[in-house]
Amino acid sequence: MLSAKTIQIVKEITPAVAANAETVTRVFYQRMFTENPEVQAYFNQAHQHSGGQQKALAGAICAYFLHIDDLAALTPAVELIAQKHCSLGIQPEQYPIVGKHLLAAIKEVMGDGATDEVLAAVGEAYQLLADVCIGREQQIYAAQQAAVGGWNGYRSFVVDRKEQESDVVTSFYLKPADGKAIPDYQPGQYITVKIDHPTTPTSPRNYSLSDQPGQGYYRISVKKEGPLTADAPGGLISNYLHEQVELGDTLQIGPPCGEFTLATDSPSTRPVVLLAGGIGVTPLLAMAKTLVATQPGRPLFLLQAARNSGTHAFAEEVQQLQTNGSKLQTRVIYDQPLEGDVEQQRCDATGVVSESLLREWTPFEDAEYYFCGPKAFMQTVYRSLQALDVGDDRIHFEFFGPRQDIESAAAVG
User: What is the pLDDT at residue 353?
Assistant: 96
Q: What is the CA radius of gyration of the chain?
A: 22
Q: What is the set of domains in the chain, with CATH numbers?
A: 4-146 (1.10.490.10), 155-257 (2.40.30.10), 272-412 (3.40.50.80)
| Per-residue confidence band for 401, with pLDDT thresholds at 50, 70 and 90 | low
344 CB-contact burial (10 Å; exposed 0-12 / middle 13-18 / buried 19+) = exposed
User: What is the pLDDT at residue 196?
Assistant: 86
**pTM of the predicted model as reported, rounded to 2 decimal places:** 0.92
Name 27's Cβ contacts closer than 8 Å, sequence gap at least 6: 105, 108, 109
User: What is the pLDDT at residue 136?
Assistant: 96
320 CB-contact burial (10 Å; exposed 0-12 / middle 13-18 / buried 19+) = exposed
Name 66's Cβ contacts closer than 8 Å, sequence gap at least 6: 14
User: What is the pLDDT at residue 199?
Assistant: 75
Name 358's Cβ contacts closer than 8 Å, sequence gap at least 6: 273, 364, 381, 384, 385, 388
Q: What is the pLDDT of residues 326-381, one digit of tens each?
A: 789 999 999 999 999 999 999 999 999 999 999 999 999 999 999 999 999 999 99
| 137 tagged catalytic | yes
User: What is the pLDDT at residue 10?
Assistant: 94
Nearest to 186, CA basis, from 253, 136, 260: 260
User: What is the pLDDT at residue 169?
Assistant: 97
Nearest to 331, CA basis, from 370, 273, 386: 273
User: What is the pLDDT at residue 73?
Assistant: 87
pLDDT above 60: residue 411: no
Annotation: binding site for FAD: 190, 205-208, 399-402
Annotation: binding site for heme b: 85
Mean pLDDT, residues 154-175 taken together: 97
Name 388's Cβ contacts closer than 8 Å, sequence gap at least 6: 355, 358, 359, 364
Higher pLDDT, 127 or 198: 127
CB atoms within 10 A of CB 290: 19
82 CB-contact burial (10 Å; exposed 0-12 / middle 13-18 / buried 19+) = buried
Reduced to 3 states (helix: H, G, I; strand: E, B; else coil), residue 117 is: helix
**Amino acid letter for position 404:** Q
Mean pLDDT score across all residues of the chain: 91
What angle separates helix 116-146 from helix 52-66, to the nearest 10 degrees?
110
Q: Which of 22, 137, 259, 407 is catalytic?
A: 137
Higher pLDDT, 268 or 50: 268
CA pair distance 145, 314, nearest whole angstrom: 33
Task: Work out the widest C-alpha separation in the chain, in whole angstroms.
Answer: 69
Nearest to 245, CA basis, from 220, 227, 226, 228: 220
CA pair distance 8, 251, nearest whole angstrom: 49
Residue 59 C-beta-side C-alpha neighbours within 13 Å: 16
Mean pLDDT, residues 135-157 taken together: 97
Higher pLDDT, 263 or 248: 248
Mean pLDDT, residues 104-117 taken together: 94
User: What is the pLDDT at residue 157?
Assistant: 98
Annotation: binding site for NADP(+): 278-283
Q: What distances in angstroms separate CA 313 from CA 153, 163, 167, 206, 318, one per listed residue?
A: 31, 11, 8, 19, 9
CA pair distance 105, 122, nearest whole angstrom: 12
pLDDT above 80: residue 403: no
Q: Which of 64, 95, 218, 370 is catalytic?
A: 95
User: What is the pLDDT at residue 327?
Assistant: 87
Q: What is the pLDDT of residues 201-215, one digit of tens each?
A: 778 999 999 999 999
| Per-residue confidence band for 225, with pLDDT thresholds at 50, 70 and 90 | confident
Output DSSP code: residue 331.
E
pLDDT above 70: residue 51: no
Q: What is the pLDDT of residues 226-236, one digit of tens each?
A: 876 777 667 88
**Amino acid letter for position 217:** Y
User: What is the pLDDT at residue 277?
Assistant: 96
Mean pLDDT, residues 54-70 taken together: 87
| 343 tagged catalytic | no
| Per-residue confidence band for 100, with pLDDT thresholds at 50, 70 and 90 | very high
Residue 259 C-beta-side C-alpha neighbours within 13 Å: 18
